[in-house]
Structure 1
């Protein structure tokens, strides 16, 4: 009876997976999940990976039971895009895969086992690792290798100079302010658009009492966690609005004017922090931001829209994780 019950439960999850790959589509993209540099990924291919995930991965079955398999479908499309971006970025950066290192990793194949239980506490990281396991393992490991090598190349020389204002920041006692997260988001994005049209307004706001500062310099080596944010990924003369820590501080938004981005000189700093492997990978993904524009891609709306601030796919344009706007204009900065 217990075995029968499990089979029925798994059958229900698999049936549900057929409905959770996405919803809605444009007439020009019927059957197509994404086209990246002319390479087509079909909805059927994404669905096949979703079905396999539910069959093979306990974490995928958890997501299916919570009606969250759309997260996996979106991540499949995201990694399809980022694979092409990292390949092109590595070529331009003069970085290649060390096949011996990848072969050594493949001997133990860290992607052969299910997503570790400890990782599932972080949904975003768990979904990423889940999709690594659905892909060709050598390709997934090679992509991670290239991302980390790109991060290691930039960390010693990357710094940004910026002015910023802050909305909804937690107090020193980590208490959230009395502001609605949606209101904080709207205010931060409105400020970004205002500063893009009038770059001097940020100094005036700070002089009038707004929380923030001008003339900040931040070396990537001093804060690997921050180096993975959009602050370090956009070119100079870009205004950004983003959340430094959305999980623990959902009301906290920063609007910043990036005045300078330096990548060609070693940064002198006494506050060097050794990045973790996860941080190094995240920094590597962020360093791909300037190269996304080198790839010609089209995403089926059922899988979302490209979000350069999150280096991710957002469910819709209304749900992107922030904005990046060039100074003296209202169009999004090219990434």
Structure 2
């Protein structure tokens, strides 16, 4: 029985081998007790606080956050999960995804087994685990399975063409933003814009989710879980290659890419189709979480100002517009 969910080295060498910048900022969700409004459904501040208190009862990491006066991290993570679960519901409808009840029951059992705890310094992993505990175990398991199914459905068919580059150095963030703006203003000259970066440039590079996984194996960062795979064509994205994604922890690197073409119904080489079967569930889940963000335009939502703004690059709630994790611009379309 099945059910559908519905719920309110050198870069060039390595490669060779939600059209909205900020949704929900300003005074949109202006009700005093609204953390967010998603498709007309109000998530109250009390709702978020209740979930935080639920986690606090038994999660040591959450208790440490409280001691450090950083519980806002958990609150925003819970609110982020609310939005992403709504997006997962949209994805399930659009892609006709189903969760087998037997598989769901098995996943719930697996999640109930003793798990290896994340390293105390792994803030992202600990925060994700704490956020899981804020929701019903079946809801978490169902969304995990749907994310994995979404990733599987795209592994063998998503093809993307990009022109972009890695930006390095102490001023990488500012230079990446400048480069992103240049590409957005003049996409017809994208090749000329990135060519001076030589070995860090990628011109009309065709990639898939599998390509992104392979890059992770050889270069140390996961293109398959970045905004490149979820952004629409004619979009420029710029984001940091975070230290935990890199083999060389000392480098400050940013990735900038113009998405020139995005084909969700392509035909991949046989070698890539075969590799799709070996992607582990944990990575599938991360890819699926990223892919659901392509449906951000399909829901109407506002984030309460006390929590921050929606960050389309980070696919999460950021504290302020100045603290989003990257940049996204719509490329200028040449007039006929």
TM range (shorter): 0.7 to 0.9
Which of 269, 284, 293 in structure 2 is aligned with 1:280?
284
> 2:319 matched to which residue of 1?
315
> 1:46 matched to which residue of 2?
48
Q: Contact 1:222 / 1:269 at 8 angstroms: preserved in 2?
A: no
Query: Secondary structure of 2:57's match?
Result: helix
Which moved further from structure 2: 154-163 or 247-256? 247-256
> 2:67 matched to which residue of 1?
65
Task: Provide the rounded CA distance (Å) in 1 between the counterparts of 2:172 and 2:183.
Answer: 16
Q: Which runs of 5+ in 1 are unaligned?
A: 1-24, 169-178, 330-335
> 2:3 matched to which residue of 1?
none
What's the C-alpha RMSD, in Å, of the aligned pairs?
Answer: 2.4
Task: Provide the rounded CA distance (Å) in 1 between the counterparts of 2:268 and 2:295.
Answer: 23
Q: Kindly report which structure 2 residues correspond to 1:85-124, keeping only aligned pairs within 5 A, or say none.
A: 85-106=87-108, 108=109, 110=111, 116-118=116-118, 120-124=120-124
Structure showing greater Rg: 1
Deviation at 1:277, TM superposition (A): 2.3
- TM-score computed with the length of structure 2 as normaliser: 0.80
Which moved further from structure 2: 253-262 or 193-202? 193-202
Q: Can you list the C-alpha shifts for 1:255-310, whole angstroms capped at 9, x where unaligned?
A: 11111112212311646363232211111011112211111111112222111111
Q: Contact 1:219 / 1:269 at 8 angstroms: preserved in 2?
A: no
Query: Secondary structure of 1:289's match?
Result: helix
Q: Which runs of 5+ in 2 are unaligned?
A: 1-26, 214-221
Paired residue total: 292
Task: Provide the rounded CA distance (Å) in 1 between the counterparts of 2:69 and 2:139.
Answer: 29
Q: Kindly report which structure 2 residues correspond to 1:67-216, keeping only aligned pairs within 5 A, or say none.
A: 67-106=69-108, 108=109, 110=111, 116-118=116-118, 120-168=120-168, 179-180=169-170, 183-209=171-197, 211-216=200-205
Task: Provide the rounded CA distance (Å) in 2 between the counterparts of 1:74 and 1:112.
Answer: 27
Q: Can you list the C-alpha shifts for 1:103-143, whole angstroms capped at 9, x where unaligned?
A: 2233x261586x74235442212212211112111111111
Task: Provide the rounded CA distance (Å) in 1 between the counterparts of 2:116 and 2:41.
Answer: 32
| Residue 257 in structure 1 maps to residue 252 in structure 2 | no
Structure number with greater CO (CA < 8 Å, separation at least 6) is 2
Query: Secondary structure of 2:262's match?
Result: strand
Task: Provide the rounded CA distance (Å) in 1 between the counterparts of 2:75 and 2:311.
Answer: 16
Q: Can you list the C-alpha shifts for 1:227-260, whole angstroms capped at 9, x where unaligned?
A: 1111111111211111233434562011111111
Task: Provide the rounded CA distance (Å) in 2 between the counterparts of 1:203 and 1:26.
Answer: 39
Query: Secondary structure of 1:77's match?
Result: helix
Question: Cα gap change, 1:307/1:187 in structure 2, threshold over 3 Å: closer, same or farther?
Answer: same
Q: Contact 1:159 / 1:267 at 8 angstroms: preserved in 2?
A: yes
Task: Provide the rounded CA distance (Å) in 1 between the counterparts of 2:263 and 2:300.
Answer: 27
Q: Kindly report which structure 2 residues correspond to 1:19-34, keeping only aligned pairs within 5 A, or say none.
A: 28-34=30-36
Query: Secondary structure of 1:95's match?
Result: coil
Deviation at 1:154, TM superposition (A): 0.3
